[in-house]
Amino acid sequence: MTLIKSISGIRGTIGATPGDNLTPIDIVKFTTAYARFMSEKNGGKRLCIVVGRDARISGTMVEKIIEGTLLGCGVDVINVGLCTTPGTEMAVITYQADGGIIITASHNPKQWNALKLLNEKGEFLNDAEGKRVLALAEDDNFQFPDVDHLGKVILSEDFNDTHIAQVLALPLVDVEAVRARKFKVVVDAVNSIGGVVIPKLLRELGCEVVELNCEPTGEFAHNPEPLPQNLTEISEVIVREGADLGIVVDPDVDRLAFVNEDGTMFVEEYTLVAVADYILSKQVGNTVSNLSSSRALRDVTEAHGGSYTASAVGEVNVVAKMKETGAIIGGEGNGGVIYPELHYGRDALVGTALFLTYLAKKNMTMTALRATYPAYFASKNKIELTPAIDVDKVLLEMKARYASENVNDIDGVKIDFAQSWVHLRKSNTEPIIRIYTEAKSPAEADELAQKFIQEIREICNL
As annotated, the active-site residues are 106
CA–CA distance, 228 with 263 (Å, rounded to integer)? 11
* Sequence-distant (≥ 6) Cβ neighbours of residue 246 within 8 angstroms: 185, 186, 187, 188, 231, 234, 235, 237, 238, 258, 259, 260
CA–CA distance, 341 with 347 (Å, rounded to integer)? 12
Host H or E run for residue 432: strand 432-439
Let me know how many helices (H) and strands (E) the chain has, helices first: 15, 20
Distance between alpha carbon 73 and the CA centroid of its chain, in Å?
Answer: 29
Mapped onto helix, strand or coil, the DSSP state of residue 436 is strand
CA–CA distance, 237 with 246 (Å, rounded to integer)? 9
| 184-188, strands of its sheet edge to edge | 208-212, 184-188, 245-249, 256-259
Helix residue ranges per DSSP H, 268-314: 269-282, 296-303
Cα angle 228, 10, 55 (rounded to 5 degrees) comes to: 55
CA–CA distance, 204 with 348 (Å, rounded to integer)? 15
Q: Which class for 343: exposed (0-12), middle (13-18), buried (19 or more C-beta within 10 A)? A: buried
Q: Is 100 within 8 Å of 72 (Cβ atoms)?
A: no
Residue 47 is given by DSSP the state: P
User: What is the DSSP pairing of strand 99-103 with strand 184-188?
Assistant: unpaired
Give the count of alpha carbons within 13 A of 56, CB side only: 31
Give the C-alpha distances (Å, rounded to integers) separating 108 from 152, 230, 271: 32, 13, 21
Q: Is 103 within 8 Å of 53 (Cβ atoms)?
A: yes
Question: Looking at this protein, which amino acid is placed at residue 234?
Answer: I
CA–CA distance, 224 with 231 (Å, rounded to integer)? 10
* Dihedral angle of Cα 153, 158, 160, 162, to the nearest 10 degrees: -80
Give the C-alpha distances (Å, rounded to integers) separating 364 from 210, 240, 260, 300: 21, 20, 11, 18
